[in-house]
């Protein structure tokens, strides 16, 4: 039955106008995603008004294209400049940049793109199959289950701390501390805000992530170039070798277990509202490293690291429409914007959406699958273009990126306060890089901290401080056991 | 035009230029005649993707036709609307910066947080619609009406309710205080978190800003937080009927205090006409199921006074 | 004791110092320390735990580095820079502080002038400064990039994104 509806959907989705707009959408998404600080969310909120006068299917298909492109574009600066513009691409840089430094930037970008499209496709298929039955399952997730999931995420990520576990944990706790700045999630009293109104919602993740991940890396590279002192020569990439940059299909597919694992992790995270793309990326990377027989290769330019991250973060894109379509609630901000677009085009997202607008929904499903083909095509053409960046001396590219970061942080919130924060965090990141504190751990602490605190306190309030709920709820129990298992394995490995 | 006034040697020319500059800054009728001569910014103090932002985007298109200048929607989220409100309160009172927000974002933070604005920092131009704020529950619960809920809660202390802000928490606690009920507030980050909690049975009742109307018979309204009953749920009483208080429900458009009368008047007229736009009416009346009803500045200013009084009552009652 | 160990000790001591200030002054003065209800945690609990852990682990790390340093004695042990994110060679503490000072000066200047002269002028100055600093010696390239890019970005943001840069 699904097949029939989907075929009908394809009939509508293959209309020439629809195809043209999907292609434009993917291309725009990729371009915006490449700029540091700008991703799907900014691209969507700017482009939604443009869709006002379009046919609903064309409009949503266009926005879906933007969303898909935006999530994968972030990998390009992460690989080429070690400057991930969003936290979701942070783990891509861990292996992507070393690979690029070895003279294989194009290979790294290809790996990232193909993994993205793969993860995305799996996620779309899951969306089409699971959207309806998901509603009942999703309702079993409450604060207790989320607490258990976040606990488990912490342990999985402990493996990302680099050589010094102590410093990794310090970095994570410091990130956690910074995440508590703002209004308290329960009683709304202010915490370390110094009565600055811009801090009431906490430190902006965007400002923190760009500063500490991207900009600090850029200034680090500038200072190193200056210290090494041989001007233009230090600033160029290594010679480009076509042969080394080929990605053989056999090499790519031999890592299929990693791809599939990450695609499912990403889809799972995407289906649960509130967890976020970045967490999916880190979980994908962390679990691939855990499962690998050669974990020491990760972080040295290992293709599997790129695949694990990109497959996971792109898999969120399709799956986060599952709660939207099943329950009418957004999986994340990008999905919230798409809900807004649905409303503008006369569809009220909610539990009745498939019944009332089945034709449109299946048209959108079909468009998503077609979009993946465009994504592959346009992304591949794009790689050739981005390849040219490597011919420009780094002495020019890096200062330009500083200015791009400023623009990138300013545009989404139009707040100079965030620009200042970003510059300050770039300084912090620079110090951390040079004293051996893991920046990834820092960002993860910041990301997971509020989820953990809020879910834990919700759990305590809801169940009157009775923690047996963590054992009596089957889903929570599974994650508690996984946490214990993960800690045990970690302790045993040493 | 030469408006450089660097030295007195410019004499009369300089003085004249200065006078022109000064009158421009103060906003003369001549200036208002030209209004709007450049793009107008509509600030939404919430994250992109919410119902307010969606409404604002459609409304901005309609307003653009009325004003004859582009209307740019800017989101400045933070502090439950306090960040955007601060920005607008501090911007130039020239009619080029408008704020589209829930009235609560302008009234509540000054009473409870340390912010740099008060309700008087703004000129309240008009209200576009009303949020449909309700106390909601699911049909599987033993209580079907507000009275039954109160009776049930008295017998079963420790029920959980989901709130979405300090304000909604204060109001539900106010009910608890009045009725002698002990119940627990579970903070949620908005409708997206409240809905699964309620449908999944994690909480017993919840505050909703209007999202429940998308869920048909899967959710039902026990009481209205607005001053009146909700159009979609005429059988549920409003808190005003029971306790004489109500939660400010208006989606308002304000400009900074000191905006000249004639510019504010122009904006008000444009707002009213834009409200009749077909696309805007469709999204408000049919999609969000909010009333598309314009309230002008005169009546709104009276309402603001009442709303502040009501909020102070609630704060006084729930403190300590 | 090698330079690398000195650096580790200074790093550890800085962590301890920051965490102490946080635990003893910042958190108590800036948060509510009592919980609202019987089943809630106090708002200051999580900040206290996180900063407290930083303090403890920072102390541990300092002591560990000091002991390692003593054991290594005068031997110049090659130092393994210990983090996955770091791909550059370690540098001296003084060099690091100098570099950081350059960055802080540049950022402070940016934030001070941007509200007054706007993005285009600030961007031009900033770009020119960093291009020269990075080692671009061609006046023409510096001029073209630093004058062209900010204007281009400003126009692009306005027409494509309807965002007015300051």
A184: alpha, beta or left? (left if phi > 0; alpha if psi -120 to 50) = beta
Does any CB of chain C come closer than 8 Å to the CB of residue A203? no
Tell me the two tokens of residue A280: 């999916």
Contacts of C39 in chain B (CB under 8 A): 184
Q: How far is Cα A35 from Cα A110, in angstroms, rounded to an integer?
A: 19
ipTM of this complex:
0.91
User: Is residue A132 over pLDDT 90?
Assistant: no
User: Is residue B27 over pLDDT 50?
Assistant: no
Tell me the two tokens of residue B258: 């000191």
Which residue in the set C22, C43, C166 is minimally distant from A191, CB to CB?
C43
Does any CB of chain C come closer than 8 Å to the CB of residue B184? yes
**Largest CA-CA distance found in chain B, in angstroms, rounded:** 85
Which residue in the set C30, C85, C100 is minimally distant from A439, CB to CB?
C85
Task: Quote the Cα angle for B33-B37-B38, to 5°.
Answer: 155
- Closest chain B C-alpha to C30 CA, distance in angstroms: 13
* For chain B, percent of residues with pLDDT exceeding 90: 70
Contacts of B283 in chain A (CB under 8 A): 343-344
To the nearest whole number, what is the mean pLDDT of chain B? 87
Matching residue, tokens 């049919």: B286
- Residue in chain C lying closest to B319 (CA): C36
- Closest chain A C-alpha to C100 CA, distance in angstroms: 7
The CATH code that applies to domain B35-130+250-318 is: 3.40.190.150
- What pLDDT sits at residue C160? 78
- Residue in chain A lying closest to B166 (CA): A188
Tell me the two tokens of residue B308: 């502040």
- Residue in chain B lying closest to A353 (CA): B214
- What pLDDT sits at residue C84? 41
Q: How far is Cα A206 from Cα A209, in angstroms, rounded to an integer?
A: 5
- Closest chain B C-alpha to A284 CA, distance in angstroms: 25
pLDDT tens track for A219-234: 999 998 888 765 444 4
pLDDT tens track for A335-373: 888 988 888 888 888 778 888 888 899 999 999 999 999
Does any CB of chain A come closer than 8 Å to the CB of residue C23? no
Domain boundaries for CATH 3.40.190.150 within chain B: 35-130+250-318
In the predicted model, what is the mean pLDDT of residues B5-14? 41
To the nearest whole number, what is the mean pLDDT of chain A? 88
- Residue in chain A lying closest to C18 (CA): A174
Q: How far is Cα A407 from Cα A414, in angstroms, rounded to an integer?
A: 9
| B285, burial (CB in 10 Å: exposed 0-12, middle 13-18, buried 19+) | middle
**DSSP track, A73-88:** HTHHHHHHHS--SSGG
- What pLDDT sits at residue C2? 64
Q: How many interface pairs between B and C have CB atoms less than 8 angstroms apart?
A: 5
Q: Map out the domains of chain A as residue ranges.
A: 2-493
In the predicted model, what is the mean pLDDT of residues B137-143? 95
Contacts of A320 in chain B (CB under 8 A): none
- Residue in chain A lying closest to C133 (CA): A226
Q: How far is Cα A330 from Cα A120, in angstroms, rounded to an integer?
A: 18
- The number of beta carbons lying within 10 Å of the beta carbon of residue A289 is 25
pLDDT tens track for A305-336: 999 999 999 999 889 888 888 888 887 888 88
Instruction: Report the SS3 class of residue C26.
Output: helix
Domain boundaries for CATH 3.40.190.10 within chain B: 134-243
User: Is residue B5 over pLDDT 60?
Assistant: no
Q: Among C164, C165, C166, pick the best mutation site for testing chain B contact (most B Cβ within 10 A).
A: C164
Considering only residues A491 and A175, tell me which one the structure prediction assigns the higher pLDDT: A175
Residue A450 to residues A200, A455, C100, Cα–Cα distance (Å): 14, 8, 30
Q: Which residues lie below 8 Å from residue A396, measured CB to CB, with a gap of 6+? A: A235, C131, C134, C136, C141, C145
Does any CB of chain C come closer than 8 Å to the CB of residue A70? no
Does any CB of chain B come closer than 8 Å to the CB of residue C162? yes
- Put simply, the answer to whether B184 touches C39 (Cβ < 8 Å) is yes
Contacts of C37 in chain B (CB under 8 A): 184
Does any CB of chain C come closer than 8 Å to the CB of residue A72? no
Give the model's confidence band at C73: pLDDT under 50 very low, under 70 low, under 90 confident, else very high: low
- The secondary structure element, H or E, covering residue C162 is none
Chain C stretch 33-62, residues whose beta carbon is closer than 8 A to a beta carbon of chain A: 36-41, 43-44, 46-47, 50-51, 53-54, 57-58, 60-61
Contacts of B184 in chain C (CB under 8 A): 37, 39
Q: Among A395, A434, A455, pick the best mutation site for testing chain C contact (most C Cβ within 10 A).
A: A434
pLDDT tens track for B289-307: 999 999 999 999 999 999 9
- Put simply, the answer to whether C162 touches B72 (Cβ < 8 Å) is yes
pLDDT tens track for B252-268: 999 999 999 999 999 99
What class is the B134-243 domain?
alpha beta
- What pLDDT sits at residue B32? 67
- Put simply, the answer to whether B283 touches A327 (Cβ < 8 Å) is no
Interface partners of A (3+ CB pairs, < 8 Å)?
Answer: B, C
């Amino acid at each position: 039955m699904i097949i029939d509806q989907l075929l009908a959907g394809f009939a509508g989705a293959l209309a020439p106008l629809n195809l043209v707009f999907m292609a434009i959408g993917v291309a725009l998404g990729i371009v915006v995603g490449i700029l540091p600080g700008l991703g799907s969310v900014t691209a969507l909120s700017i482009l939604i008004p443009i869709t006002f006068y379009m046919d609903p299917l064309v409009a949503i298909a266009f926005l879906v294209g933007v969303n898909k492109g935006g999530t994968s574009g972030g990998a390009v600066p992460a690989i080429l400049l070690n400057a991930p513009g969003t936290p979701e691409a942070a783990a891509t840089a861990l292996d992507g940049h070393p690979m690029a430094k070895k003279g294989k930037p194009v290979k790294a970008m290809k790996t990232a793109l193909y993994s993205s499209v793969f993860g995305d496709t799996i996620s779309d298929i899951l969306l089409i199959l699971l959207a309806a039955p998901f509603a009942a399952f999703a309702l079993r997730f409450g604060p207790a289950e989320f607490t258990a999931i976040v606990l488990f995420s912490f342990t999985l990520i402990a493996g990302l701390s680099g050589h010094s576990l102590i410093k990794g944990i310090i970095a994570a706790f410091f990130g956690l501390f910074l995440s508590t700045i703002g209004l308290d999630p329960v009683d709304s009293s202010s915490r370390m805000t110094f009565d600055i109104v811009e801090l009431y919602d906490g430190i902006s993740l965007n400002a923190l992530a760009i500063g500490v991940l991207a900009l600090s890396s850029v200034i680090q590279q500038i200072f190193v170039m200056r210290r090494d002192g041989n001007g233009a020569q230090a600033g160029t990439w290594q010679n480009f070798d076509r042969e080394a940059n080929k990605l053989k299909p056999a090499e790519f597919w031999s890592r299929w277990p990693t791809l599939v694992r990450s695609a499912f992790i990403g889809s799972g995270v995407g289906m649960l509202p509130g967890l976020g793309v970045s967490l999916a990326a880190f979980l994908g990377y962390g679990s691939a490293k855990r499962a690998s027989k050669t974990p020491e290769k990760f972080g040295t330019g290992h293709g599997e690291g790129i695949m694990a991250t990109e497959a996971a973060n792109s898999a969120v894109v399709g799956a986060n429409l599952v709660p939207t379509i099943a329950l009418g609630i957004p999986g994340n901000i990008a999905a919230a914007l798409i809900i807004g677009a649905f409303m503008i085009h006369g569809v009220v997202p909610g539990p009745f959406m498939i019944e009332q607008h089945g034709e449109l929904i299946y048209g959108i499903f079909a468009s998503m699958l077609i979009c993946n083909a465009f994504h592959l095509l346009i992304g591949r053409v794009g790689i050739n273009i981005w390849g040219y960046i490597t011919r420009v001396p780094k002495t020019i590219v890096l200062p330009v990126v500083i200015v791009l970061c400023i623009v990138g942080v300013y545009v989404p919130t139009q707040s100079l306060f965030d620009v200042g924060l970003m510059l300050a965090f770039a300084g912090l990141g620079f110090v951390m890089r040079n004293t051996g504190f893991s920046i990834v751990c820092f960002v993860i602490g910041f990301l997971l901290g509020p989820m953990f605190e809020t879910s834990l306190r919700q759990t305590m309030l809801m169940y009157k401080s009775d923690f047996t709920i963590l054992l009596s709820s089957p889903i929570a129990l599974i994650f508690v056991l996984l946490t214990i298992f993960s800690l045990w394995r970690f302790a045993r490995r040493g | 035009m030469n408006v450089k006034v660097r030295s007195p040697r410019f004499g009369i020319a300089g003085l004249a230029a200065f006078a022109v500059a000064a009158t421009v800054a103060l906003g003369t009728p001549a200036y208002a005649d030209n209004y709007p001569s450049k793009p107008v910014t509509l600030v939404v103090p919430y994250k992109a993707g919410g119902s307010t932002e969606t409404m604002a985007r459609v409304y901005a298109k309609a307003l653009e036709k009325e004003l004859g200048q582009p209307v740019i929607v800017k989101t400045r989220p933070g502090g439950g609307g306090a960040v955007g409100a601060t920005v607008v309160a501090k911007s130039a009172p020239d009619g080029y910066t408008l704020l589209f927000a829930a009235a609560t974002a302008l009234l509540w933070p000054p009473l409870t947080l340390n912010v740099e604005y008060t309700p008087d920092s703004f000129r309240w131009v008009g209200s576009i619609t009303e949020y449909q704020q309700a106390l909601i529950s699911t049909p599987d619960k033993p209580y079907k009406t507000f009275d039954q809920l109160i009776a049930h809660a008295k017998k079963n202390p420790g029920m959980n309710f989901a709130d979405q802000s300090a304000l909604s928490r204060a109001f539900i606690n106010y009910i608890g205080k009045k009725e002698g009920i002990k119940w627990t507030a579970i903070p949620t980050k908005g409708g997206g978190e409240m809905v699964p909690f309620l449908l999944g049975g994690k909480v017993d009742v919840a505050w909703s800003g209007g999202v429940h109307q998308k869920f048909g018979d899967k959710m039902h309204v026990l009481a209205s937080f607005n001053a009146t009953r909700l159009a979609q749920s005429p059988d549920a009483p409003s808190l005003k009927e029971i306790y004489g208080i109500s939660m400010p429900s208006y989606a308002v458009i304000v400009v900074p205090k000191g905006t000249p009368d004639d510019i504010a008047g122009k904006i008000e007229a444009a707002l009213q006409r834009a409200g009749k736009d077909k696309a805007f009416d469709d999204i408000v009346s049919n999609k969000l199921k909010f009333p598309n009803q314009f309230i002008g500045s005169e009546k709104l200013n009276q309402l603001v006074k009442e709303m502040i009084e009501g909020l102070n009552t609630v704060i006084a009652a729930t403190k300590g | 004791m090698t330079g690398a160990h000195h650096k580790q000790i200074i790093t550890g001591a800085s962590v301890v110092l920051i965490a102490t200030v946080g635990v003893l002054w910042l958190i108590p003065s800036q948060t509510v320390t009592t919980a609202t209800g019987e089943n809630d945690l106090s708002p200051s609990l999580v900040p206290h735990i996180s900063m407290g852990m930083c303090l403890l682990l920072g102390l541990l790390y300092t002591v560990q580095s000091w002991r390692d340093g003593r054991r290594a004695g005068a031997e110049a042990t090659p130092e393994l820079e210990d983090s996955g994110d770091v791909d550059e060679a370690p540098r001296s503490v003084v060099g690091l502080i100098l570099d950081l000072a350059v960055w802080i000066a540049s950022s402070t200047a940016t934030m001070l002038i941007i509200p007054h002269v706007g993005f285009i002028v600030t961007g031009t100055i900033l770009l020119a400064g960093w291009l020269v600093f990075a080692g671009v010696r061609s006046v023409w390239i510096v001029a073209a990039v630093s004058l062209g890019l900010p204007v281009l970005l400003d126009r692009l943001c306005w027409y494509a994104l309807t965002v007015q840069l300051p």
